[in-house]
Structure 1
Amino acid sequence: MRSMKLRILAAAAVVCSAATFAAHAAITITGTRVVYPAGNREVNVRLNNVDSRPVLVQAWLDDGNAAAAPNEIKVPFTLLPSVFRVEPQRGQALRIMFTGGDMPKDRESVYWLNVLEIPPKPKDADERNMIQLAFRTRIKMFYRPASLLDDPTAGRALLKWHVEADDKGERVIRLDNPSPYYISIGSAEVAAGNSRVSLRPDMAPPFGHVDLVPEAGKLDIRAPATISYTVLNDFGSPIKDSAEVLPTQNTPVQKDQ
């Protein structure tokens, strides 16, 4: 019965009954991403309860489908413990262990660590209107083959940025990533003349690309452009850099006259 209730909470993540509420997450995760080096027996992730109340926690890994139920997900890892209670101002270590499988050896693979915290029901909950929230945190976990020894952000000079048109004909900035690492863009801004456009952060897969779309409005480049961006390293820290944005044949860049 408890397992069924947790699966329902994991899918819904919110339990409602009415009215005004104040809420905050009690569980914090040490770090904003997890790196699992191939060959390691396990990787530990530290959780801490910064609240004054105990919290029930469910943890699991997924392969990219955030809506999938934990009991339906198949990944080549075991995570222990999966359901546990964390006392106030105490911590808990999660153990992630690779169970084996045919993993790519020339590039990273990405999974996501999910941590769902379910606060205790207040003793007077039946006497007042309230909304009770179950908080879910989801961070990336990179499985890194033994052949990859460099800092993922070290190859920034190899990244290529150019103007493209998406399926709707809207202009976007395409980031080509020729490296074997996932490249996480923390922030990006395109400057062309007096125009500056912020782009939504995203992640480019190894030997692939990602299209960065404007946060608001349209991208209208009519002069040589420069992109200022940050790449997140293994610790989640932003590394600043800039690059030239190149035109493409199907979306020519017009110079101001």
Structure 2
Amino acid sequence: MNPLIRCGLAAVMSIACMLAAPAQASVVIGGTRVVYPAQDQEVTLKLNNESTSPALIQVWLDDGDERSTPDTAKAPFNVAPPMFRMDGQTSQAVRLMYTGEALPTDKESLFWVNVLEVPPKADNSSERNVLQFAFRTRIKLFFRPVGLRGDLAGTVDGLTWSLVDAPAGKGLALQVRNPGAYHVNFAQVGLKTAQGTLGDQGGGMVAPGAVAVFPLKDVMHRPAGALQAEFAVINDFGALNLLDRPLTP
């Protein structure tokens, strides 16, 4: 890639990371997550340009650094094509290919797919007065080794939940332990009581073999009666499954 083009795109990407606006990207990713089975040579990511205008697209993967650029990102994957023009109302298939570096074989590994959309340059005087933004979208990629023990549903069943002090020392939180080999993603987490569900502040994730803590909004003391963790799990296809589980002491 031409160094000037690369530097220019990196600069635009950095601005896109720092700015926010009440607008939305025109290019939409066909899915909320990517599952990469280790035995596959590649997986395909579909992009759709839902606007009538063209856009310049750049795609790369990183290992969790939100401020990564195509030049600084670290991930054992190649992308084809890594940069391209998308006309309005068109689709593009992007191939993601694992390059074979050693990764854990007893659990999933997490990476992130970045899609940067740069809008076209204004070509008339009225459009030149409109503020334009580049958009970067990041979605998770789960690299799934061959012969991984269990499955996602079994991992969800094996989660253990407990009520603990919030990390900031003010109020309570739900703590979840994941002894399984799969990442579990939540759209919401709350404390289910006889009076209703309390403290839901959205979702999050717990990694394989890890512990995650979800502070409960406005829950300062342990409610009376039987308590359960109530949570919505996001599956491989982006669908939600609302569940509840008893708390461990």
Deviation at 1:178, TM superposition (A): 1.0
| From 1, 7, 12, the counterpart of 2:10 | 7
Aligned equivalent of 1:42? 42
AA of the residue aligned to 2:231 = Y
TM-score by length of 1: 0.87
Give the whole-Å Cα distance in 2 for the aligned partners of 1:42 and 1:84.
19
Aligned-partner Cα distance in 2 for 1:98–1:44: 12
Q: Deviations over 1:47-78 (max 9, x none)?
A: 01110001111111010010122201121111
Separation of aligned partners in 2, 1:45 and 1:92: 8
1:213 maps to which residue?
215
Provide the rounded CA distance (Å) in 2 between the counterparts of 1:205 and 1:108.
9
Give the 3-state SS of the residue equivalent to 1:13 in structure 2: helix
TM-score (norm 2): 0.89
Give the alignment of 1:10-25 within 5 angstroms.
10-13=13-16, 23-25=23-25
The alpha-carbon distance between structure 1 residues 106 and 125, as it changes in their structure 2 partners (threshold 3 A), is farther
2:210 is the counterpart of 1:202? no
User: What amino acid maps onto 2:234 in structure 1?
Assistant: L
SS at match of 1:191: strand
**Cα pair distance change 1:128/1:88, threshold 3 Å:** closer
Please give the secondary structure, in 2, of the residue aligned with 1:75. Answer: coil
Deviation at 1:7, TM superposition (A): 0.4
| 8 Å CA contact retained: 1:200, 1:212 | no
2:163 pairs with 1:144:
no
Distance 1:205 1:90 in 2: 36
1:153-209, CA deviations, whole angstroms, 9 ceiling, x for partnerless residues?
333221111012244223211011111000001112212343622133110010111
Structure 1: gaps (5+ residues)? 248-257
Change (3 A) 1:46 1:150: farther
Q: CA deviation at 1:221?
A: 1.8
- What is the CA deviation profile of residues 214-257 of structure 1, one whole-angstrom value per residue up to 9, with x for unaligned ones? 3x43443232311221111110111121111234xxxxxxxxxx
What is the match of residue 181 of structure 2? 180
Gaps of 5+ in 2: none
One-letter amino acid of the counterpart of residue 59, structure 1: V
Separation in structure 2 between the aligned mates of residue 211 and residue 194 of structure 1, nearest angstrom: 23
Residue identity matched to 1:58: Q
Contact preservation (8 Å) 1:160, 1:175: yes
Cα RMSD, aligned residues only: 2.1
Farther off after superposition, 98-107 or 196-205: 196-205
Q: Which amino acid aligns with 1:226?
A: Q
**Conserved 8 A contact 2:155-2:178:** no
Q: Indicate the residue corresponding to 1:231 in structure 2.
A: 233
Q: Give me the identity figure in percent.
A: 34
- Give the match for residue 69 of structure 1: 69
